[in-house]
Amino acid sequence: MSAIQSMNMPITTEIPTAPNRLWILTIATVIFTALGFVFAMFVAKTDVNQGDIQRIFYFHMPSFFGALFGFVATVIGGINFLRTRQTRWDNLALAGVEVGLALALINLATGSIWARPIWNTWWTWDARLTSAAIMCLTYAAYLMLRGGIENPEKRRMFASVYGIVAITTAILTLVIIRIVPSSIHPAVIGPSPQNAEGAFEFSQNVAMALGPNFIIWGVLIPLTLIWWRIRLQNRVDVVNLRKAEALSE
């Protein structure tokens, strides 16, 4: 109770209801996700070299940027929490990690599924794949370590610092194919490394399917999920406060 009060948390026991803007955003996200699926499956043509599996790219690459969106939110939340000690920033950081990790797992799993028919293996210890796996493990560790700290103030402090430092794994994953020329992972923007396998031509219909899905999976979905996750965390805080009040009485 004292720990919660010491953090400038708004002392309210009102359960917040979702605003109309969030519902509009959610409905728009669902509609656009369906549209993005249609673009990926029916507008984009089948890649003659890779076959239908190439379509997974329209979810694989945008989901990485969606994960990055979440992890950047964690950095913003972490920095602002350290500056202001307001729990809402910590809630943003936590939501960013959860959503980012879910999207990073989608990115990792779809990459592995793509690799099976194209590289003839589910997994290889390539620089990009390894750094992506490290990124996922780093953020999974964030959640586990956070859950292991009892004191809320220490937990939030630790999580803020960890969340800020952990973004390096995401940035490293993004740029590693430029740093390690032996990578076989193809680049999407700009020329691929000389050993890249499975690159494809960035044609107009690829761009038509990738553009919408980039916005959907890279911005809309993480934004919507983060917003809902923050609201859930706000509710957790309110319920915890009520529990504390009930126990103190």
Residue with smaller CB distance to another protein, 7 or 232: 232
Residue with smaller CB distance to another protein, 41 or 154: 41
Note whether 242 binds another protein by CB under 8 A: yes
Q: Which of 121, 190, 204, 248 binds another protein (CB under 8 A)?
A: 190
How far is residue 221's CA from residue 243's CA, in Å, rounded to a whole number? 33
Within 10 angstroms of residue 97's Cβ, the number of other Cβ atoms is 30
Q: Is residue 213 helix, strand or coil?
A: helix
Segment 94 to 113, residues that bind another protein, using CB under 8 A: 98-99, 102, 105-106, 109-110, 113
Only segment of 62-70, 138-146, 148-156, 204-212 that touches another protein (CB under 8 A): 62-70
Note whether 215 binds another protein by CB under 8 A: no
Note whether 32 binds another protein by CB under 8 A: no
Residues in the chain: 249
Give the list of residues 6+ apart from residue 198 with CB closer than 8 angstroms, or none. 50, 114, 115, 118, 119, 184, 186
Segment 42 to 61, residues that bind another protein, using CB under 8 A: 46-53, 55-56, 59-60
Rounded to the nearest whole angstrom, what is the least distance from the CB of residue 159 to another protein in the complex? 18
Distances in whole angstroms, Cα of residue 222 to Cα of each of 12, 65, 100, 102, 208: 28, 9, 7, 10, 21
Q: Which of 161, 178, 202, 207 binds another protein (CB under 8 A)?
A: 178
Q: Is the alpha carbon torsion for 18, 24, 25, 27 positive or negative?
A: positive
Rounded to the nearest whole angstrom, what is the least distance from the CB of residue 99 to another protein in the complex? 7
